[in-house]
Copies of this chain bind each other. A is one copy, B any other.
């Protein structure tokens, strides 16, 4: 009598069966119960090694992949992590997304990417929805107020990026600490009248940058005024540039590179030269900052790394077993990268 042949050409090249294999198929093939199959695959040491190996071989043979939905239902773990960004077209988040994507995939998680469209309502409802369909979330530049964010974090594992709220683990890209550096750079070029071009009013990042800058300015006795707010888009750069010119400053430190690049374009349109007539310092060092015209002096941030760290911190929350210090706050260093958009103060 012929036993079921294993390792035949057909078996080594399992054709696309109509329906993906389940543990029941494996169980039938091995003559054991489905639960045994489940155990053998998830808790191998609790099953006889010979049975286990038979089951594992059968799983390979049938090209078995666990159904993540079913797994999620019974185990309560979805194997997915939500990543919320305010604006998916902002290049800043590209790098962040890549960082999270890489690290999540390495850990066997799926990334659920959501663009919250700069809206706190979309953000809140997404968070609520994700509560069931994801094991945790990474929230970049949240537009939620502190209470709402803390409340959401209490309901599901969360790591924020660039948002500091008590009790919520966070990755902070420490651009503020580079502000004095940027200011000193401008001072060393002779500038004494500087503007801070601020970002969205609800952006905590923008607020923190302004505070750091104005403190540094006070210490050094330099005049720094604040203009804005401006939306973090290149299109906003036109208005920002006009406002900066009108304010009479000789240099600007800009909330982010997107606005800064927009300013560069506008200043050029208006026949003003950068840096001869106006120096510009951006923030973030996004894609494009190195090849715009002129190349942008900016605060370089390890954005992709920040994404990776955020994932690590989230995974540490999800699997507390991995011994040791669950940091709940991680500060990423930044530094000034001087390129062509800053120069000596106009001699006029």
A binding-site residues for B, Cβ under 8 Å: 16, 20, 63, 65, 67-70, 72-73, 78, 88-89, 91, 94-95, 97-98, 101-102, 105, 110-115, 128-129, 131-133, 151, 154-155, 234, 261, 264-265, 287-288, 290-294
Contact = CB atoms under 8 A, between A and B. Distances in A.
A133 B102 CA distance: 19
B293 A265 contact: no
B115 A113 contact: no
Nearest to A125: B65
Given A16-B154, A113-B113, A287-B91, A133 B293 contact: no
Contact of A16 (B70, B101, B151): B151
Contacts of A105: 114-115
Contact of A115 (B63, B78, B98, B155): B98
B69 A88 contact: no
A78 B112 CA distance: 13
A69 B65 contact: no
Nearest to A268: B291
Given A113-B113, A115-B98, A154-B16, A291 B294 contact: no
Nearest to A340: B293
B292 A132 contact: no
B65 A128 contact: yes
21 contacts: A16-B151, A20-B131, A65-B128, A65-B132, A69-B72, A73-B73, A89-B94, A91-B287, A94-B94, A97-B113, A101-B115, A110-B114, A110-B133, A234-B291, A265-B290, A287-B288, A291-B292, A291-B293, A292-B292, A292-B293, A293-B294
A223 B244 CA distance: 50
Contacts of A65: 128-129, 132
Contacts of A287: 89, 91, 287-288
B101 A88 contact: yes
B88 A94 contact: yes
Contacts of A63: 128
Contact of A69 (B111, B132, B265): B132
A22 to B, nearest CB: 10
B101 A132 contact: no
A113 B80 CA distance: 11
A49 to B, nearest CB: 27
Contacts of A155: 16
Contacts of A133: 68-69, 110
A208 to B, nearest CB: 26
Contacts of A69: 69, 72-73, 78, 132-133
A20 to B, nearest CB: 6
A273 to B, nearest CB: 14
Nearest to A110: B112
Nearest to A16: B155
A116 to B, nearest CB: 10
Given A89-B94, A91-B287, A287-B287, A102 B115 contact: yes
Given A20-B131, A67-B132, A105-B115, 7 more contacts: A65-B132, A69-B78, A70-B73, A88-B101, A102-B115, A113-B113, A264-B291
Nearest to A71: B69
